[in-house]
Structure 1
Amino acid sequence: MLFGIAAIVPALFFVIGMVRDRRRLGNAVWLGLTLVLLVLWLVFRATAIGGWSAVVVGYAFVALLLGLGFVLPIALIANGVLMLRREGFGLANLLSLLAGLAIVGVVLAFGFATAHTAPAVDAVIGSLLIVAAYVAFLFVSLLLYSIVYGSIGRRTGFDAVVVLGAGLNGDRVPPLLAARLDRGLHLYRREVGAGRTPLLVVSGGQGADEQVSEAAAMREYLVRRGVPDEAVVLEDQATTTEQNLAYSARLLAERDWTGRAVAVTNNFHVFRAAVLARRLRLRMQIIGAPTAWYFLPSAFLREFAALLTHNPVVHTVTCGALVALHLVLTLT
């Protein structure tokens, strides 16, 4: 009963946060806390009732441990190898492989701790497990909330469609960027069909290994698919997501545009783009385009790492406090 009542508090903060602004990072944390407390309530409730309820909870717990300790790291390592084969060597493409190896390391550390019960060993291994649990909680919370954010919100009634750039292959639009452009084109055509004349903004500068700016390649892609050349507005200076949003908003302001805008990116990138739009004080919704399945694990891990950098002091202090409490309890 205690956990069920306690879950009401973060649930209320979650609802309030959603009403105030769906782009708040705190919404993900409140959602995660609510789910953790609800799971604890279900576990203790089933244990108190006994019988089949306790048996089901026991099997579910064993399945969870096996999934997290064995199936998940194997899947991440396999995905990392696939990423290297299809996308080439690079830190971003190594993330799922490194995450899988890190989970294996945590499992081995836990096994070592259970075989060696010296206080110093318990203190060190326990600290590592606490940090791992904290990071895992944040990752799952942000992942779930990213899915929630991407599934709700307005889908029509836009006066401007901004497509955020991504890397080119020389001067060609790769599949990742093509998915964004196709989604932006779909939104544009739907607004035109409804009798509106929306602006279609393509945003992206030129990288060192690109023959043209991303915006130029994106405009050519859209024009070849029937969009009038005069309907496409170029923003060809941005090199980051934050610049994509800021420069596109500035371009719209220069044209005295005051309507509703939507920015299109890939589904894994939606929530971080929304957080950045909030930081820039932009009233701009973010909509995601589909992404190849094998690309998602590394992409979500990269987004998670980037979101952590938004509040590094908070995460460092929280982890430090949890570890300090553990050390005090273990070594005294």
Structure 2
Amino acid sequence: MRRAKTLTTLKPKCIASALDIGLSNWSFEFITISLYTMTKSTSVIFILIFAIVFKLEKLSIPIVAIVLSISTGLFMFTYESTQFDLKGFTLVLIASALSGIRWTTAQKVTQQSEFCFVDFHTLFLYVSHTILGLSNPIDVIYHTQPWMALVLLPLAFSLEGDEFLTSPFLFRSHDYLGTCRTLGYFVFGACLAFGLEVAEFLVVCNSSSLTLSIAGIFKEVVTLYLAAAVNGDQYSPTNIAGLVICLAGICLHVAIRFFKHTAILRLLLCQNRQMTHLPKKLRPGRLTSLPSDFFVLDKVYC
């Protein structure tokens, strides 16, 4: 992979990812979890906008309805449950916009293949390697994390450098076991973050950034529900209505993806009835060139 092409393609994703993480964590100094969740839910709107700009999604009424219903539902679910702070709200809103750039560029990098075609006799989908060779989540993390660190570390040290270096739980600690315990928390959190990153890139590689965002909204709804259940908070009719609307939007997205997948399979079955048997040399596993009776697809999202 050529260095210049790698830098040009991955630079927007690395910068957006680092600033998204940094600004999101910085906002917790000013706002509550509820306001953060309510504001960060707008990321699904930004992801849709950038997905349309980058031609990863087609603008349609169902997609717009899904995004609006989920955003409206999550806003209603957290309504009147938080204290507003302009600075924290602005930080999260900027982070949401950067999140849209982050995941749409990630999808563009991981799914930018040279060609994609389907064997109608076996219903097997062949996809060539991506132009950058970053179809594996580990490859993406390997090539993006160093550049993200270069952007994120200056921001982190400028905001928390003094507190980190003078913390009584780390370098100034006289308790060896306490220091090891603190480092253990760091390692445990890093392992969780790494697993989350791999899972997110797996979703983006095999589906779309919009699907990842909607799955994240479901996670936020469950988190808020469990937090309220543990703390004994009471839900108003507005909160309950928002939860129902949000879950309805998520179910609608899943249904649309399912029917799209079913339509593709039906198309393949119809084409399969019109095809003749392939020669042995063109059977799966020995395919070396693109036969003329293969149907070429630009993108397949199921």
TM class, shorter-length? under 0.3
TM-score by length of 2: 0.27
If asked which structure has higher relative contact order (CA below 8 Å, sep 6+), I would say 2
TM-score by length of 1: 0.25
| Greater per-residue strand proportion | 1
